[in-house]
């Protein structure tokens, strides 16, 4: 299992790992990105918004970050 930089609140690592595996089965592992390093939290440009954290943050930028990002490419993937 890939360990994320930060787990969601009240979520244990084993549950997170099982959830990532299940999502990967549905949409393919190439469409699931677990955030493992602070470098993944880079700010993007206006036209390329960041997927890992809010671009207009009120709290510390590192306070609310994603543990994983899922890139859905079709309606059936969203419905799954």
Show pLDDT as tens, one digit a residue, over the chain (80 residues): 678 888 888 999 999 999 999 999 988 999 898 888 766 666 655 555 555 555 555 555 556 677 888 888 788 877 76
Count the neighbouring beta carbons within 10 Å of the beta carbon of residue 32: 18
pTM: 0.68
Three-state secondary structure call for residue 62: coil
Containing H/E element for 32? strand 32-34
CA distances from 42 to 15, 45, 47, 58, 78 (A): 27, 10, 14, 17, 26
> Domain coordinates of the chain in residue numbers?
13-79
Question: Which pLDDT does position 8 carry in this prediction?
Answer: 85
Distance between CA 9 and CA 11 in Å, rounded?
6
């Amino acid at each position: 299992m890939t360990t994320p930089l930060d787990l969601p609140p009240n979520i244990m690592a084993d549950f997170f790992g099982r959830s990532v595996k299940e999502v990967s089965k549905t949409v393919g592992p190439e469409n699931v990105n677990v955030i493992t390093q602070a470098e993944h939290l880079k700010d993007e440009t206006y036209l390329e918004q960041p997927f890992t954290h809010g671009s207009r943050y009120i709290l510390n930028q590192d306070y609310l970050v994603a543990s994983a990002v899922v890139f859905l490419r079709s309606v059936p993937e969203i419905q799954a």
